Amino acid sequence: MQNFYHRRKAKGLEVPHILGLSASPVMRSSALSLPKIEETLDAICRTPSKHRAELRLQVKLPVLLQVHYDSTRSTSESPGLKAIQSLGQAFGDMKFTDDPYYLRLSKDNREKSQRALANIKLNHKTWSRDQIKSFYIIAQRILEELGSGAAHWYISYVIAKFLKLASNRDKNLGSWDVHSEEKLYVARVLKQVKLERHTTDDILPVTDKVAKLIEVLLTEKSSFSGIIFVKVCTINMLTSTKRDI
């Protein structure tokens, strides 16, 4: 809206009319939320008033149900926890002096490259290290929120996908530039992660939060349907930013 609609309207150009239908246009309790969405959409929010009583008879009002769960339930000796520990060990063993970007900068005597090299020596921050760190943090969050099974699946999936794509690029390109070398370096780190094998019949632990959610769903009638809002955790380890070397 900000990039196209409002700019076109400010120039006096044609813009589309907007009709939005929603039962809950505002997710926050702030009184400023509604005017903000009206300003963004260049629209006016309206709700039925004349036939409100009749409308309520046709609408099933939501019921607020509080479900308490134990957020401290242990997941020790689980494959997901062991995989995260192995991933953390691989991350901790990474040395910035082995990083392809560091090695390339150390051979470049240009002032800009030497400044970048000094920064790496100071904070050990490289693209390769950032990718493994982000992967590790996301895996920990999944373990805490969903449990061992989800964490183990996520780690296995990301590693398998990355190694496959990295292998295909290696075969297709033949020679690697520094960015490709970084991906190969990340692949070597990921190969150090130890993953336990399990079958689809294995019952992997979930957090008490997920267990309570499943209990609620199972106690409802067969005609029940629900919407679960989730935050997708992704990591794109095959895209590196362009840098001057």
- For 196-237, what is each residue's pLDDT tens digit? 876 555 566 788 888 888 888 888 877 777 777 776 655 555
Query: What's residue 240's pLDDT?
Result: 47
**Residue 73 maps to a domain:** no
pTM above 0.85, yes or no: no
pLDDT at 17: 85
The answer to whether residue 156 sits within a structural domain is yes
In-domain check, residue 205: yes
Has residue 210 been placed in a domain?
yes
User: What is the count of structural domains for the chain?
Assistant: 1
Q: Give me the pLDDT at residue 200, please.
A: 56
The rounded distance, in Å, linking the Cα atoms of 153 and 210 is 16
Residue 178 lies in a domain: yes
Measured on CA atoms in the order 224, 225, 230, 236, is the torsion positive or negative? positive
Question: What is the structure's pLDDT at 217?
Answer: 83
DSSP class of residue 96 equals: G
Token pair in block for residue 74 = 């242990």
| Structural domain includes residue 111 | yes
pLDDT of 10 reads 92
Residue 233 belongs to a domain:
no
**For residue 167, what are the contacts with CB-CB under 8 A and spacing of at least 6?**
187
Return d(Cα 140, Cα 138) in angstroms, integer.
5
CA 126 to chain centre: 20
**Residue ranges of the chain with pLDDT lower than 70?**
23-29, 73-77, 169-178, 198-204, 231-245
pLDDT at 237: 54
The residue segments making up the domain with residue 91 are: 79-219
Residue 23, token pair as written in the block = 């039962």
